[in-house]
Structure 1
Amino acid sequence: MKLKLHLTPLLILLSLPSFGQPQQYRITWNNNKVGTYETNHIYLDTVRTTTTLQLNYRHDEGTTQAYVRHQFYELSYGALVSVSTDLSVLAGDTTQFIYYTPDSTRAPSYSPSILGPYGLQQLSQRQLNQVGDSIQCLAYSPDHGQAVPLWRTISSYEIILAQKYWIVQDSIPGKRPIESIYNQDFVLYSSIQNSPIGRLNIQPLRPIDSLIQFMSQSYGLKQLPSNIWLPDPKNVNAIQLALTTTNEQNSTINLTDNSFTPLPIDSMKLAQTTASNTWLNTQDLNYFSIADSLTRTLTTPEEIAYQLTLYCRSLDFKHPSLQLLKLARSIELPSRLVHGYYYQHGQWVRKYWVQIGIADEWVIFNPNPHSPISSALYLPLATSDLYTGILPLFDLPMLTSIHTLNYLKDGKAHRISTKQEKIKSPYYENKGLGLQLDIPKGFHITPLDTTRISPLFLVLTSDNSHISFEYITPPILSDNYQTHYLQQWNNASHEITTLKDLKREHYCIKTPHQVIIMIPDGSSFYLIKISGEHREEALSELIKKNLKFKE
């Protein structure tokens, strides 16, 4: 077990936690892979760090398989309470022992407290800030099974993927010094130990698309109903929202379509928005090949970002935002991931989207299939370039409601009234869209599936007829678009006409099976479909007496 004897001094050093995410490492001995190491951290009333070491290597006496698991329990200020160890060298041969520190109840100001991984990390963050800084403390050593003096010094630094890392030397009595590389939060990046039996190297595993498993996890409600349907959402200039969280905390937020979010000025921070990291592998040449073939004839960053967005939206990616992030970074476009809600058809939908650096600011690019909206209707809750880990993407409030208080559209203010008005029955009013109608005789409102994101907002049904109302926002609403849209129901015998009794601008097609009415509304339009045996009678009653639009 010579390898184990030389490896165990590293365990206290490797155990430094990265909050909210497991750290996985590959262990090589003389350039041969011999095992893996994983550390995970949970912060409850105490701090618990779990480390798992697995070894499988050959030596003169045969093959050895070893499994070592440590659980460190520490108080919130870092003093070690206990260490539980499971050690197995042969299958079925497991030894367990527990170490209790004699001074775990001492006050945090008492310096001789024995430190665990969390305490050592916190002490390093507080006192090691530049090359030459050093600390001395008591730390638990799995090799000794007790606390030992530990000397830690920052000997130099190194720039890795645009981030500054400390080169740290750790010394324990009776052991060779260990040189390791840490980020500035003192999470281990790699470590090398030279010994009489060879060179031991610990390096991080970089699983491809390791972020996907976290993005796939359910977090909060996927959509929240809006209290109104917003009219012409492409032209909403600003909106004021009232937010409520699961613990019933309320807040108000203002969103505008002209907000300016600058790119980082610091060159190192800017480089982090194009670099690969533990959670995001953008060095795959396949991504560069795709991005280059899509954009090589384009000249401006806006055109390039838009083309990449269309590509990700056109294919059936499980996480299109992650694909867009990789494609953008593969050609050195600054980009970062955003987690939040955006407005769609009377709902606030929780999704990921991407911000790409254009000129000197961050600009929204949404590769998810969606109806076009103003940038004022994006509610970002968490933003991350992924370089500091994934935790910021999930450290967001759990919302239970998003309520529109007022909004600005085409420069005109609209305040949402909370006054309850008496209405006659049967009657329907959509205050957001400004649509009012007396429900035609013999018709009733059919309940809709509120879990679906759809432009359909009202369905009226009778024994022999059916009326549906949709509110659609296309990418561009032009005369050509309207003509082409209606032509899907049109042929040589069904011309586009207008209705005498409908005063608002509109287009109408009558087919043998249904009547279709398109009513433009800014950059959007209402689409009314009437089908069934008595569709002409239903159309007449709807248009002549009932259908009203209010600005």
Structure 2
Amino acid sequence: MTARSQTSLRRKALALSLHAVACVALGGALFVPPALHAREAAMPAAREDWLELRLAGVPAGYILERADGAKTHVESKMVLNRMGSKVEISSATTFDEDADGRLRSLTTQASTSRDKSTLTLTVGKDELTLESQAGGKSYTTKQPLTAPLYGPRGARALSRARLAAPGDVLKYSTFVPEAGSVAQVTRTMLRRETIKVGARDVDARVVTEISSAMPVPSTLWLDADARVVRQEQRSPFGLVELSPGTAALRAVVEAGAELPDDTYSNAVARSNVRLPRPRDVERVVLRLELKNPEAGLPDLSGPNQRVIEKSDRHVVFEVTRPNTPDDAQSPREDAQYVNPTAVLQSDHADVARLAAQLKRPGASRWQQARVLQDWVSENMQFDAGVAMVSASEVVRDRRGTCVAYAVLLTSLARALEIPSRMVFGYVYAANMWGGHAWTEIRIGDDWVPIDAAMYAPGVADAARFAIVRLAEKQGAGTDQAALAQLFGNERIRVLSYAIDGRTIDVADGAKAYAIDGDVYRNAPLGLVVRKSADASFVKLDAMYPDTTVVGVRDAQGRETTLHQGAASVVELREDGLAAYLKEKGYAAPMQALRVAGRPALLATKVDAGKKTATTAIAFRDGEDLWLVRTDGDDGERRVRAAAQGVELAAPAAAVVAR
């Protein structure tokens, strides 16, 4: 498989949920403030306490805690088998507290990919010292200390002392390693309740908890010693639950959890309209509404984003694609955005070496950024099993999700003194809005988005919006709170969009397509599909990870489907269609033809093991790559017949064009 595999339409869609897995779904368990799992100060060193993590009702992870005098060791792990990829996210943290339970230091080792990173925190009199290590490099930063920080034992003692009756409130500060920052925790006692824990009845205090690092509330059941005997928290992938477990969890978790088929689809937002050539969209106005407003809305204003209307439950905002920048230089005060970090390792030898190879003498800042974008897009390989990752690992392995693409592009830009930062947010693809990561570079006074994963040559499209912009001192998990506010808790509606200089309004409740007998019409896409009288239309509302726009089922029950996706840097070249089909396993010779007035290629691939053949026709429309495919015998005749029924014109307004 080559780097072109990143353009697989299905795999591109899979990339959109991985950041949510790493930063949000685990937020209710692995990444919550460590005080949740506090134990007795006098706990024997040999004692082990296990908590089972269940996601959407499926055992998916564990937390193991051991106490050793003033130190508490917490090991956590989650393993997901996700549509053909195995995702492992683990951490091991040691907390050192004084006699009053105040944190003196901690060391955590975490892994969301092949390599591990280490963070060491030392608490001084009035400041915190953080040392991060990754890829053989070390980075040190300072943060002010404005309030005492409590570790697991201290937080447990506070909870036992101050949460005695309904209405009691406890507030304290702790340090969250995954965010690399201090978090404020608020616990409020609701009631007392007797629950079953194994074979025994436990008189538990039921407590709600909100952390500034994870604003989605948790419900905790604390026993008489303030140990957590149950926890529940909403996540984009279903309910996250913690309950007592045993050492047998380790083997269960290592095998990997198989989540229900709809788990990942539930973590993205269906679009009310299919956008034509989404990588070419110049402007979009969106209405974002929370299903549950308890967590609140993040601030969606910022570069190229303007809030038009906002309430506690919804926000209407505009995203604009900026013009191609000129050769203006960035101000000197942007030097912070060329500094290396533990993730954006622009000073790593391998990153610096590659950047030097890609440097173009005499190129403007924007021209140089475009060279980097094309190289990353062409030479990276999509891998859903690699989540958050440092630049030293990406430059070595050249694989990962959209996060890895953004890490490498941003790091290469910084290595060449181009101010840049990572952005986390949403992007449109395959009839939905899902989590994504990309890069912004500073040109003159403007921040310009550029994307190597959801590729468009040059300035990134407006069919996206930013939630978090990673600042120079922030860790990989910073602002996961803002992400948690939205993922799985959003409804997103396109109110209008602009493409080719024309604005198209989308009426509330308007259908994206209409069927008139044997004719399917999708006005926003400018698409018409005609079928024979004995066939039927199917898969009319498919969504992530299915990229089907419309399908046709013949009288024998055989389906031919039409798919829409974005072309890569490779596929935009003259021989791009052949490269795409070859990468997908289709064999030569390939037959040239035309579909909807566009040049196209027809090819077939055979699965020898399954003894089945797949025939497909690929063609492009601007940045869009279209695929007509069918399985089984007589595939060439059927796919040709289906392609002859496809018409693709300039997109028409669903309701009003202005």
- Length-normalised TM-score, structure 1: 0.52
Equivalent of 1:337 in 392, 404, 422: 422
1:286 shift after superposition:
3.6
Q: What residue identity is the alignment partner of 1:381? A: I
SS for the counterpart of 2:437 is strand
1:410 shift after superposition:
0.7
SS for the counterpart of 1:70 is helix
Verify: 1:413 aligned to 2:503, yes or no. Answer: yes
Assess, with a 3 A threshold, how the Cα gap between structure 1 residues 473 and 99 changes in structure 2: closer, same or farther. closer
Percent identity (aligned): 17
Question: Which position in structure 2 is the counterpart of 1:51?
Answer: 151
Counterpart CA distance in 1 for 2:345 and 2:277 is 39
* 1:354-433 → structure 2 map (5 Å cutoff): 354-368=439-453, 374-387=460-473, 391-392=478-479, 394-396=481-483, 397-398=485-486, 399-417=489-507, 418-419=509-510, 423-424=515-516, 428-433=520-525
* 1:127-138 → structure 2 map (5 Å cutoff): none
SS for the counterpart of 2:462 is helix
Counterpart CA distance in 2 for 1:441 and 1:366 is 44
Question: Which position in structure 2 is the counterpart of 1:322?
Answer: 407
Question: Which position in structure 2 is the counterpart of 1:239?
Answer: 284
Residue deviations 1:426-452, cap 9 Å, x none? 653433312233543443445499564
Residue deviations 1:62-109, cap 9 Å, x none? xxxxxxx53499xxxxxxxx698xxxxxxxxxxxxx899xxxx9xxxx
Counterpart CA distance in 2 for 1:422 and 1:13 is 63
Assess, with a 3 A threshold, how the Cα gap between structure 1 residues 283 and 445 changes in structure 2: closer, same or farther. same
SS for the counterpart of 1:376 is coil
Q: What residue identity is the alignment partner of 1:428? A: Y
1:480 shift after superposition:
3.0
1:241 shift after superposition:
1.1
Asked if the contact 1:13–1:117 (Cα under 8 Å) also holds between the matched residues in 2, the reply is no
Counterpart CA distance in 1 for 2:562 and 2:579 is 16
Verify: 1:223 aligned to 2:277, yes or no. Answer: no
Question: Which position in structure 2 is the counterpart of 1:150?
Answer: none
Counterpart CA distance in 2 for 1:536 and 1:515 is 6
Counterpart CA distance in 1 for 2:624 and 2:98 is 67
Asked if the contact 2:338–2:414 (Cα under 8 Å) also holds between the matched residues in 1, the reply is yes
Residue deviations 1:307-351, cap 9 Å, x none? 444454412135412333333334433221211011223222202
Q: Larger C-alpha radius of gyration, 1 or 2? A: 1
Question: Which position in structure 2 is the counterpart of 1:145?
Answer: none
Assess, with a 3 A threshold, how the Cα gap between structure 1 residues 446 and 391 changes in structure 2: closer, same or farther. same
SS for the counterpart of 1:272 is helix
Q: What residue identity is the alignment partner of 1:457? A: V
Give ranges in structure 2 of 5+ residues lacking alignment. 1-69, 71-96, 106-118, 125-142, 175-262, 294-312, 381-397, 605-612, 653-658
Question: Which position in structure 2 is the counterpart of 1:70?
Answer: 154
Q: CA RMSD in A?
A: 5.3
Assess, with a 3 A threshold, how the Cα gap between structure 1 residues 379 and 264 changes in structure 2: closer, same or farther. farther
1:509 shift after superposition:
5.8
Counterpart CA distance in 2 for 1:429 and 1:464 is 22
Question: Which position in structure 1 is the counterpart of 2:218?
Answer: none
Assess, with a 3 A threshold, how the Cα gap between structure 1 residues 403 and 297 changes in structure 2: closer, same or farther. same
Assess, with a 3 A threshold, how the Cα gap between structure 1 residues 444 and 305 changes in structure 2: closer, same or farther. same
Question: Which position in structure 2 is the counterpart of 1:480?
Answer: 574
Equivalent of 2:315 in 251, 259, 267: 251
1:235 shift after superposition:
2.9
Asked if the contact 1:439–1:546 (Cα under 8 Å) also holds between the matched residues in 2, the reply is no
Counterpart CA distance in 2 for 1:10 and 1:264 is 53
Assess, with a 3 A threshold, how the Cα gap between structure 1 residues 484 and 368 changes in structure 2: closer, same or farther. closer
1:289 shift after superposition:
2.7
Question: Which position in structure 2 is the counterpart of 1:172?
Answer: none
1:411 shift after superposition:
1.1
Residue deviations 1:152-200, cap 9 Å, x none? xxxxxxxxxxxxxxxxxxxxxxxxxxxxxxxxxxxxxxxxxxxxxxxxx
Assess, with a 3 A threshold, how the Cα gap between structure 1 residues 246 and 419 changes in structure 2: closer, same or farther. closer
Q: What residue identity is the alignment partner of 1:376? A: A
Counterpart CA distance in 1 for 2:646 and 2:335 is 60
Q: What residue identity is the alignment partner of 2:464? A: Y
Question: Which position in structure 1 is the counterpart of 2:121?
Answer: 24
Q: How many residues align?
A: 371
Equivalent of 2:624 in 524, 534, 539: 524
